[in-house]
Amino acid sequence: MTEEKQFNLILLGPPGAGKGTQAGLLVNAYDLLHVSTGDMLRSAIKEGSATGLKAQEYMSKGELVPDSIVTQLVVDRMGKPDASGGVILDGFPRTKPQAEALDNSLKENGRTIDVVLYVNASLDVIIQRLTGRRVCPECGMNYHITNIPPRKEGVCDTCNVDLFQREDDEPETVKNRLVVYEKSTKDLIGYYREKGLLEEVNGDISAEELFEEVDSLFRGEGLVK
Ligand code: ADP
Ligand code: ZN
């Protein structure tokens, strides 16, 4: 039996750069598993699990959830059968200890990271995107009051229920998330650049345009077929 080559990708960049949206487009195009720590933590909160209760204390303030909690979530998720074709890590790693824990886990499992896509964006674009984001409580779809408005204001196109604003998308918390990014996550750019894995793109353009650019970049490097 011939094994398909796995493709493992990390999305790095400030909150609001559009990592989640790109992840959605990329998982469809390449048939990968989307591993979003933010989504996993939000569903743990919804379930009311012990992990969720703990995580909520940090998330509501825009602080990082402790490394041990998120690392465990990711390692467990990557061990499931549906992760065997490759993953897109979205929102993880966010600290040096997370990056090192990931390296160790990959090594133990004979896996490697193929590319780290650094999606950068300018501050005014980030703030406009995050504070205008609205989410469907049923299907999780992200809208934006002006960039991606639902057909009927404040209501999900698919589920017909009221959209809400994430607590951490309120302006004060957005500011703190950006401070936390600068302080804890930005160092990872250098970490992956040194490993020769970093590819930088500009997230200010539309999601569709950015996807086209990323797709041709990956094709050009022979990372995807
Ligand atoms: P964004 O990338 O827009 O900030 P996410 O959904 O990725 O949004 O993350 C939301 C929150 O979840 C973060 O502010 C943080 O509290 C928590 N979180 C997500 N991923 C991690 C991580 N890898 N390490 C620590 N906390 C995390
Ligand atoms: Zn919906």
Ligand whose nearest atom lies closest to the CA of 74: 1
Report the interhelical angle of 96-108 vs 67-78 (nearest 10°). Answer: 30
Question: CA 158 from chain center: how many Å?
Answer: 23
DSSP calls for 23-90? HHHHHHHHT-EEEEHHHHHHHHHHHT-HHHHHHHHHHTTTPPPPHHHHHHHHHHHHTSGGGTT-EEEE
- Kindly state the DSSP code that residue 165 receives in the 8-state scheme: -
Q: Quote the CA–CA distance of 16 and 131 in Å, as a whole number.
A: 9
Which pLDDT score is estimated for 4? 63
Topology (CATH level 3) of domain 9-121+185-220: Rossmann fold (3.40.50)
Residue nearest to atom 23 of ligand 1 (CA): 92
pLDDT per residue as tens digits for the range 68-99: 999 999 999 999 999 999 999 999 999 999 99
Which pLDDT score is estimated for 174? 93
Ligand whose nearest atom lies closest to the CA of 59: 1
Which pLDDT score is estimated for 2? 45
| Burial zone of 98 (CB within 10 Å; 0-12 exposed, 13-18 middle, 19+ buried) | buried
Residue among 168, 175, 187 whose CB has most ligand 1 atoms within 8 A, to mutate: 168
Spans of the chain, pLDDT less than 50:
1-2
- Kindly state the DSSP code that residue 135 receives in the 8-state scheme: E
Measured on CA atoms in the order 96, 101, 103, 106, is the torsion positive or negative?
Answer: negative
Task: Please list all protein residues whose beta carbon sits less than 5 angstroms from ligand 2, which is an ion.
Answer: 136, 138-139, 141, 156, 158-159
Show me where the domains of the chain are located.
Answer: 9-121+185-220
